[in-house]
Amino acid sequence: MKKIQPEKRAIGVNFNASGEAEILVWAPLVRKVSLVISERNERLELNQEEYGYWQLTTTMLKPGDTYKFLLDDETERPDPASVSQPEGVHGASKAINLKAFKWSDEAWVNPRMQDYIFYELHTGTFTPEGTFAAIEEKLDYLIELGITAIEIMPVAQFPGNRNWGYDGVFPFATQNSYGGAEGLMHLVDACHAKGMAVVLDVVYNHMGPEGNYFNDFGPYFTDKYNTPWGNAINFDDAWCDAVRHYFIENVLMWFRDFHIDALRLDAVHAIKDFSPTHILREIKQHTDALTAITGKKYHLIAETDLNDPRFINPLDKQGYGLDAQWIDEFHHALRVTAGEERSGYYSDFEGINHLAKAYADAYIYNGIYSPHRQKTFGAKTDNEGKQFVVFSQNHDQVGNRMLGERTSTLVSFEMQKLMAAAVLVAPYLPMLFMGEEWSEPHPFLYFTSHTDKDLAEAVRKGRKEEFKAFHAQGEAPDPQSEETFNESKLQWDLSQQGKHAVMLNYYQALTRLRKENKPLSTLNRKNLSVTFDNEQQTLILRRWHESEHVCCVMNFSKQEQMVSLPADADWRLSFSSADEQWGGSSSFTRITEGTVTISPESIIIFVNNHV
């Protein structure tokens, strides 16, 4: 099988130092492959190689030319490894020299994983313009907020101009309406110049439906497994070697050619692979090989709901070696504690006792019976705190609600502040979802812009069917409507107004506190204790580093509560969400003989007078 070279991209169209185009495409079941240059209608025949590859080195194809592959003199298709689709998913591919961009980030050093404070954003709705260039204009704002890493939802080319990004069908091509490959490179370079890392969300568990021409080239999919999106991507069936290499090449391209610092791997629990070396483990091995060449550190972050530490255990412990994972259970427990109705997957979460367990154990279901799943679920983990990403909302948890409501419209102003603090004092990596820091009231809805009318109607009907039990709340918004998309855009003018500005200042203070307080910034899960009172709905989280201790008292009830502080330290008030400067009603906190009176729906943070 072809050997992957971490230092250079092999598949698709690439330009060597001599300016020649090196063309490589995998099409094992066809008899002939040609490349057709659109501008000149010129046809170049490729040479057949081993393992189903077709190859050609030529001076006839230049950067900027558009082209398609002609299969068996019958079927014209865009390049499955295209890096640019200027005319969308059905149009010709554009040849680009990825090495031509002039980078200025040679001195950039990727932050340590434990120093990441994530900010998840969707390029199309983050700004009015919906482009990479417009994100650049907001970088100073994000730095002032305290963000150290932006996490960009998927940018692989999708149909039309409106999509969450999970319907991408060209994993190597950067969405044309966002600014394409050069626009993304420019954004990454700008982020690094300001000291900010860039995380990119990628999808290796399925492909979108429209513009999906992979089957014309070869067996990229297998019917061995059923998935919510149809046949699974072929990671372990006949012909899988080239498919595995395709996705490994994709990982290496983002790191090497786009200078991306970390990849968030979407729903890895939906990747089906029973190979002796799981595809995720192989991705980690090749990422490490790239690090050995470049000297740069790259992070791999999984989204998984399996509560299986194998994903984040190191390679030498037979794990897949991923650096971190999202942990939805913290979110679920926090939301139920804050008043979310226990229905659907929330039915498994009991509230404050499970929130306490999330702080202490990372996984709530860690080998115990799950009533929702009707089975014993998960495993215990002793992995470090820096390996778990927590949040009070994200694109899924907001956008998968029928009306896309953010926390800002579901709970009180005080509860929003408490939930934010609950995330930022956790012994894990915190992530904010765009706009939550100023209590953005606009929803984040599910939206698409399919050009296939039948598919568009199927998506529309599917969305209505999904929420038919919620008809009393109204109709599910039409995903195809441009109004649905526009309604999901952030309202930046609000961030400077009234309580929205207060909330923004509050978030800035919280991120500052986390960075400056050693017990909070040191993600040692062993230096932690947590207690709770179910009747009072209060929780005390205590964390420490050497002689420094911090005590976080949280009150999730709607009444004032009296809570006893740990007696083994001389506590000093450091922060209170109920303070008047944060829009609260209390400018002071009463402490009487080791007992603190805490306002409803609030958090008080104490530090010890350490030597």
Q: Consult the annotation and say whether 328 binds a ligand.
A: yes
Q: Consult the annotation and say whether 497 binds a ligand.
A: no
Q: Consult the annotation and say whether 332 binds a ligand.
A: yes
Q: Which two tokens stand for residue 516?
A: 């400056």
Angle at 118 between CA 112 and CA 119, to 5 degrees: 150
Q: Consult the annotation and say whether 463 binds a ligand.
A: no
User: Residues 257, 261, 266, 361: which is the catalytic one?
Assistant: 266
Count of helices and strands (H, E) across the chain: 15, 31
3-state helix, strand, coil in the chain (%, to 5): 30, 25, 45
Q: Consult the annotation and say whether 264 binds a ligand.
A: yes
Edge-first strand order for the sheet with 595-598 is: 561-564, 595-598, 590-592
Phi and psi (nearest 5°) for 17?
-65, -20
H or E segment to which residue 133 belongs = helix 132-136
Q: Consult the annotation and say whether 323 binds a ligand.
A: no
Q: Consult the annotation and say whether 400 binds a ligand.
A: yes
Q: Consult the annotation and say whether 344 binds a ligand.
A: no
Q: Consult the annotation and say whether 273 binds a ligand.
A: no
Edge-first strand order for the sheet with 53-58 is: 12-15, 21-26, 53-58, 47-48
Q: Consult the annotation and say whether 570 binds a ligand.
A: no
Q: Consult the annotation and say whether 493 binds a ligand.
A: no
CA distances from 103 to 366, 559, 563 (A): 45, 56, 55
Q: Consult the annotation and say whether 118 binds a ligand.
A: no
Phi and psi (nearest 5°) for 193?
-65, -25
Distance CA 157, CA 126 (A): 18
Of 246, 248, 280, give the one whose Cα is nearest residue 52.
246
Of 123, 203, 199, give the one whose Cα is nearest residue 163.
123
Residue 303: active-site member: yes
Q: Consult the annotation and say whether 508 binds a ligand.
A: no
User: Residues 303, 305, 340, 601: which is the catalytic one?
Assistant: 303
The full DSSP string for 481-533 is -HHHHHHTS--GGGGGSHHHHHHHHHHHHHHHHHHH-HHHHS--TTSEEEEEE
Residue 42: active-site member: no
Distance CA 133, CA 581 (A): 35
Distance CA 199, CA 456 (A): 30
Q: Consult the annotation and say whether 90 binds a ligand.
A: no
**How many CB atoms are located within 10 Å of the residue 491 CB?**
14
Q: Consult the annotation and say whether 114 binds a ligand.
A: no
Phi and psi (nearest 5°) for 575?
-160, 140
What are the binding residues? 264-269, 328-332, 395-400
What are the binding residues for substrate? 264-269, 328-332, 395-400
Residues belonging to the active site: 266, 303
